[in-house]
Chain A
Amino acid sequence: MLPPMDDTQRPSKSRSPEPGREEALFEAALALPPEQRAAWLERACGSDAQLRQRVELLLQSNEKAGEFLRPSLGAGLERTELIPTPPKEKPGDVIGPYKIREKLGEGGCGVVYVAEQTEPVRRRVAIKVIKLGMDTRNVIARFEAERQALAMMDHPNIARVLDAGATETGRPYFVMELVRGIKITDYCDQNHLDTKQRLELFVQVCHAVQHAHQKGVIHRDIKPSNILTTLHDGVPVPKVIDFGIAKATEGRLTDLTVYTELRQFIGTPAYMSPEQAEMSGLDIDTRSDIYSLGVLLYELLTGRTPFDGQELIQSGLDQMRRTIREQEPMRPSTRLSTMLDADLTAIAKSHSAESPKLIHFIRGDLDWIVMKALEKDRTRRFESASTLALDVQRFLENEPIEARPPSGLYRFQKLVRRNKTVFAAAAAVAAALVLGLGLSLYLFVQERHALKRAVAAERRQAELREEAEKGLALEKRMREMAPITAKFTAAGQLMSQSQFDKAEDVMKDVPTNIPQSSAIYNVLGEVYGRSGLWPAAVRVFTRSVTCDPTNEFAYHYLAPLLVSTGDLDAYHSLCERALSQFSASTDPAVAEQIAKDCLMLPPPEANLATLAKMADIAVAAGPNDSKWPYYAFAKGLAEYRQGHFAGAVEWLGKVPASEEVPARTAQMYATRAMAEFQSGQTNAARASLAETAKIAETKLTQPGRIDWNDQLIAQFLLKEAKALISDAPASAGK
């Protein structure tokens, strides 16, 4: 509602008929030296004494008006009365089931107290009461929306958010695990942690953030005061607090939105990502946290943020946004070397180092890592907090980092460790699987090595994605099983660091009745298999099938592994389990795979009909299905095992002899050789056999192949074909 401006608004009658002339004379006179003004005015105004008087008055007023109307902002302000301050909580007050003990601190958006909870457990918690003015209902609704995700977070470096509600006066509050610690930056400085120790703390923070991201929680306000550090058994442990609170107190749809964003803006602009500075607000994702982690790392290394928070605020909103969005910060080492000597010495001292050494240590790799996290374009930042952590760890272990721009030497170094990269890619898949991030086999495809066999990879990718989705769905049921989830996360983390043995170790304590373990076992098995570690692969895939007998993926690997290690009893009983589990499946891909698993060796007579039916389900998908060649092969193999040799030759003829998919092509030739031989086409059989042998020699001997299970099957079929054809007398036919 707009108040009317009363009588004063009405145009008053002008005292001077010629304001324009008055003004012109005033200005002209003002330009003259004061002593000449009177004489000049007298001439200029002539007989109009009133006009002269007016101008003289204005000139006098101008002399006196020095401080008049000066916008005296900020100094000696006359303040209107305060609104009645909202009642503050005091020790002894009760909020919900919590009894306030003492004040812990006060921040931009609320006051934090230590409180005691009596029900259902007796414990001390931290309770943060948000200042009045926020729409309580919305804050709590937004918190509720994220509550499930928050509840799933369980990480030693994250302070758990336990509860939220409204006080009697209507203010929202959040209840958190009580963490007594100090800002991570203060901790580092006070304890003179050297740069390596700082980086180790930072890596822990990254892992905590990664964990939250895996659970779908973005922090949005990562800054040193939200990372409290304490000593636990003599080891510094950083804890990230306030997860989920920035989100809950923000939101787009209330009247307060922009205000709160601005509030936040003014609160912590130094840690704000360019996209947060945009304030479009709709599109903040995990990469925003990566940026803030970059700022944190910058500060841990140099004692300064990339842009000075105070300067940002003073430059005004527009300039602030422009700076954050457009200006490239100085590299950390450059920042240090351009500092005043005294400042630099102080910072070096807090790092327990000498200035030149500190700069030397940071220059290069650490510069690159920081700058990659601080990229304005978020697609160029680290993909995740764990890749950022991984790069820092690489640096700590004197390994080449990823953030570095490719130089000749660097590329060479990378080439040298190509094999390792394959593993890193596998690890990424592991992470993706466990986390359900859907990253899937992207990295494999990127690898040139794998690109060549994109067909096989694609197929596997679909399977893995399915697998991941299944894992995710199952994981939802796991809400109550936090300790096990923690193990999964730990295992995922270890796998993403290529520490597969340790990951398996972690999984040892997980009971076998937890089906979602299979996703982790499958990845481990995949990796072991690709390294040719058959017994280890058998071990984990067996566990995988035990944990989740419905996960067909494991069967496809375990079956050839068991044949390969000569454990045929185990193989046959696995086939029986597979059939009892999947024989009714109408999914052509499942039917085809299981049929192949059970037909790679001659199956028991009793199973033949079922297996033939499964092959029929597969080929019913039709030749337009992308997996058609696989289906046709399964049908051909089924025909052969049933003794329908002509049918087998016909179906196997439909399988393209693609060099891109050597394992399948070899399987096809080997089976066709047998079918041709059995139908009396001895020459054709020998030719087919020769083709198989050629592929087997050239293409099936490469280690690290993603389709190693299909390669094994090809080897078995080749062996069987050789035994049939080569051992037979030259004249032998049907």
Chain B
Amino acid sequence: MSEVTQILCAVQQGDPRAADQLLPLVYDELRKLAACKMARESPGQTLQPTALVHEAWLRLSGGADRAWDGRAHFFGAAAEAMRRILIENARRKNALRHGAGQKQLDVEELEIAAPAPDEQLLAIDEALNKLAALDKEKAELVKLRYFVGMTIEEAASVLQVSEATAKRWWIYARAWLYAEVHKREAS
């Protein structure tokens, strides 16, 4: 049994610490996977977060048909990991643009399709953190949709809510975030 499957089992059996252990593993895995892929893809191709996350799932779970329950935790962690990777990239490039030197430009750069230009991405992320403090589930939904590229149906199934609920949440969260991002711009 892989480490991840062990953790997923622990999570399902209600061990709250287990979920925390999942994130670093998934994070590392995604980075590694992205780096490998990038090295092999012909230049000009960009990695799709959805594909990366699915591959990471197959790899870490051994591709076995796990209970959906385990998947939910995994994809939750993957969404968070993917968010960190994208934000990290955006921050680094932002820093570069503002004259922080060329040293940072190394093979660590991951060519993953980001959903928005860097500045906007960072702004959205900041707003998202605020939303997460208020309403964790909706923020989760946004992460799954925005950073991993899941559809409403997929995200609903990960969060184990109905599609109708997910849709309502999505509309509300989107309006909320929009308001938050643009309030900052206005001020």
Contacts and interface: CB of A to CB of B under 8 A. Distances in A.
Nearest to B62: A280
Contacts of B37: 133, 259, 263
Nearest to A62: B175
B54 A80 contact: no
A435 interface: no
B114 interface: yes
Interface string B41-54: 01100101110001
Contacts of B149: 71, 73
A85 B93 contact: no
Residue among B50, B175, B176 with the highest chain A CB neighbour number at 10 A: B175
A14 B133 contact: yes
B163 interface: no
Given A61-B179, A68-B174, A279-B63, A3 B111 contact: no
B125 interface: yes
B37 to A, nearest CB: 7
Contact of B84 (A2, A278, A279): A2
Interface in B140-167: 142, 145-146, 149
A30 B167 CA distance: 13
Nearest to A134: B40
Contacts of B114: 77-80
A64 B174 CA distance: 10
Interface stretch (A5-13, A33-41, A478-486, A528-536): A5-13
Contacts of B58: 258, 262, 279, 317
Interface residues of B, number: 62
A169 interface: no
A109 interface: yes
A26 interface: yes
B105 interface: yes
B95 interface: no
Contacts of B89: 80
Nearest to B39: A133
B172 A58 contact: yes
Nearest to A26: B172
B126 interface: yes
B182 A61 contact: yes
A365 B69 CA distance: 48
A61 B40 contact: no
A505 interface: no
Interface string A236-280: 000000000000000000011011001100000000000000111
A730 interface: no
B38 A83 contact: yes
Residue among A78, A79, A85, A255 with the highest chain B CB neighbour number at 10 A: A78
B172 A27 contact: yes
Given A26-B172, A133-B39, A256-B36, A262 B113 contact: no
Contact of B129 (A5, A57, A133): A5
Residue among A58, A108, A316 with the highest chain B CB neighbour number at 10 A: A58
Contacts of B110: 80
Given A19-B135, A62-B174, A73 B115 contact: yes
A80 B93 contact: yes
Interface in B97-148: 105-107, 109-118, 124-126, 129-130, 133-135, 142, 145-146
Given A69-B146, A71-B115, A78-B118, A258 B175 contact: no
Contact of A131 (B39, B112, B134): B39
Nearest to A64: B178
Contacts of B174: 62, 65, 68-69
Interface in A1-52: 1-3, 5, 8-9, 11-12, 14, 19, 23, 26-27, 30
Residue among A11, A72, A77, A85 with the highest chain B CB neighbour number at 10 A: A77
A170 to B, nearest CB: 11
Interface string A491-525: 00000000000000000000000000000000000
A12 B133 contact: yes
Given A3-B84, A3-B88, A65-B174, A109 B40 contact: yes
A246 to B, nearest CB: 14
A132 interface: yes
Contacts of A71: 115, 145-146, 149
A665 B43 CA distance: 78
B113 A79 contact: yes
Residue among B109, B172, B182 with the highest chain A CB neighbour number at 10 A: B172
Residue among A2, A5, A109, A317 with the highest chain B CB neighbour number at 10 A: A2
A407 B67 CA distance: 44
A587 interface: no
A255 B146 CA distance: 28
A409 interface: no
Interface in A55-102: 57-62, 64-65, 68-69, 71-74, 77-85
26 contacts: A1-B24, A2-B84, A8-B126, A12-B133, A14-B134, A27-B172, A58-B172, A58-B179, A61-B178, A69-B142, A69-B174, A71-B115, A71-B145, A79-B113, A80-B109, A80-B110, A83-B39, A106-B42, A108-B40, A131-B40, A133-B35, A133-B36, A259-B33, A263-B40, A279-B58, A317-B54
Given A58-B175, A73-B49, 16 more contacts: A3-B88, A8-B126, A19-B134, A60-B179, A71-B115, A77-B114, A80-B112, A80-B114, A82-B109, A83-B106, A106-B42, A131-B40, A133-B38, A262-B55, A279-B63, A318-B54
Give me the 5 closest cross-chain CB pairs, A-B, nearest first.
A133-B39, A11-B133, A62-B175, A258-B59, A61-B178
Interface of A: 1-3, 5, 8-9, 11-12, 14, 19, 23, 26-27, 30, 57-62, 64-65, 68-69, 71-74, 77-85, 106, 108-109, 131-134, 255-256, 258-259, 262-263, 278-280, 316-318
